[in-house]
Amino acid sequence: MTTAELSGITLEDLIPHRGRMVLIDEILAVDSSHAITVSIISGSYPLVAACGVEPLIMIELAAQTAGVCNGWDRIQTKGIDSEQMGWLVGVKRARFYIDRIPLGSRVVTRAENSHSYGNLREVAGVLHLGDTLIGEVTLQLYQV
């Protein structure tokens, strides 16, 4: 993870995931409305098969990337020691343009809060493998 612009804030400060459920390897950009992350597709991922990872994993990549920007916003508005709770995530729409994501691939995910109403967010996510668009995901997030 790139920490130069994060001023000592770690990925664990931003999202509630731990261990092998952390699918983000690097944060390229983050502010209170969007984040761009890199994930290296690993054999330890959920939904892995011999020929790659099921495209359904793109929903989780988009959700964790959304968690990065919303975690950043929480820290900026409430402080680093503020309570870190996960979000309930609903999938409004998901389009996958690839049958499998090959192991070792570098997937870049951009998640942007397209709408924000208090504790409710709608997030637009796009995922690329190199220059190729491999998925588009629209999520609805709610935090109690």
> Which tokens is 115 given?
């709408």
Fold of 11-142: Thiol Ester Dehydrase; Chain A (3.10.129)
What is the pTM assigned to this prediction? Answer: 0.91
Structure-token match 């929480």, residue found: 74
- Model confidence pLDDT, tens digit, residues 2-12: 444 567 788 88
- Model confidence pLDDT, tens digit, residues 59-104: 999 999 999 998 888 888 888 888 777 788 999 999 999 999 999 9
Q: What percent of the chain has pLDDT over 90?
A: 62
pLDDT of residue 113 exceeding 90, the answer is yes
Nearest to 141 by CA among 26, 77, 62: 62
- Interior angle at CA 38, CA 11 and CA 58, nearest 5: 100
What is the C-alpha to C-alpha distance for residues 21 and 34, in angstroms, rounded to an integer? Answer: 21
What is the C-alpha to C-alpha distance for residues 25 and 133, in angstroms, rounded to an integer? Answer: 19
What is each CA distance from 114 to 2, 29, 138, 139, 142, in whole angstroms? 25, 17, 9, 10, 14
